[in-house]
A = this chain, B = another copy of it.
Amino acid sequence: MSIRNPKQALYEQFSIVAKALGHPLRLEMIEHLAQGGRSVEALAAKLSQPVANISQHLQALRRAGIVSAERDGKFVHYSLADDSVLSAFAAVRGVAERQLAEVDRIVRGYFDARDDMRPVTRDELQTLMRDGLVTLIDVRPKDEFALGHVPGAINVPLGKVRAWSTDAAIGREIVAYCRGPWCVMSFEAVAALRALGHSARRLEDGMPEWKAAGLPVAVVA
C-alpha cells in the first residue's frame, strides 16, 4: 500500500462503501435485509443462490459497514447496520432513476404496462385508512410480513391475491405494497386485481421506506 494523505485515505474509505453497493446481487440482498434480519441460509433461499456465494457477499457488505452480524446459536443473523444504508441505497437509486435512460425504458416497458396510474403516497394512504376508504394489502411472503408491516394491512402473498380477491367481499379500493418502490410484487398484484375488475393502486414505496419515515410498524406477536 502506497503512502496516502488523509484526503486520499478518506476517499478510499468512502469508495469501499460505494464499491460494496456496486453489485446487483448485493443490492438485492440489502433490499431483503431491509425487510428484517436473516440468516445466511434464509437469505440464500430467498435469492435462490448458493449459500457460499451469499456468505461471501455478506462478508463484503460487512467489511463496508453496511450489514452487521450477530451470532445466534448455530445461525448468524445478519441485518442492516444502520438506517443510513437505506438512504444511501435510495440516493443511488435516485440518481439512476433520474439519469439513466435504461431505467426509464425498463420501467415503461414492464411496470407501466401493469400500472398506468399514479401510486398512492404515504400521506394519502394514512388519510384513506383513517377514513376507512381502502383495503391495504401487504403482498410480501408471510415471514416478511411478520417482521413488520403497516398497521391495518392484511397479508396477502402475491400467489394468493387472486383467490383472496374472489373470496373476500371487497367493496373498497385496494392498495398494495411490498418491499420497495420498484418491488415487482405490488405491480403484479395490482395488475392481477384490475384484471379481475377490482379497483387497485400501489403504495409509492415499501415497508422499509415506511419505517424509515418514522411511521408506526406492526409486528405479528
**Residues in chain A within 8 A of chain B (CB atoms):** 5-28, 64-66, 81-82, 84-85, 87-96, 98-100, 102-103, 106-107, 109-111, 182-184
Contacts and interface: CB of A to CB of B under 8 A. Distances in A.
The 8 A-B pairs at the shortest CB distance, nearest first, are namely A65-B99, A19-B22, A18-B21, A11-B24, A88-B91, A91-B91, A6-B110, A18-B22
SS of A interface (majority)? helix
Given A11-B28, A12-B24, A24-B14, A99 B81 contact: yes
How many chain copies?
A: 2
Contacts of A64: 95, 99-100
A17 B88 contact: no
A3 to B, nearest CB: 13
A91 B96 contact: no
B87 A94 contact: yes
A96 B21 contact: no
Contact of A16 (B15, B96, B98): B96
A180 to B, nearest CB: 10
A70 to B, nearest CB: 15
11 contacts: A5-B184, A6-B106, A6-B111, A9-B102, A11-B28, A15-B23, A15-B24, A15-B26, A18-B23, A64-B95, A84-B95
Contacts of A16: 96, 100
Contacts of A109: 6
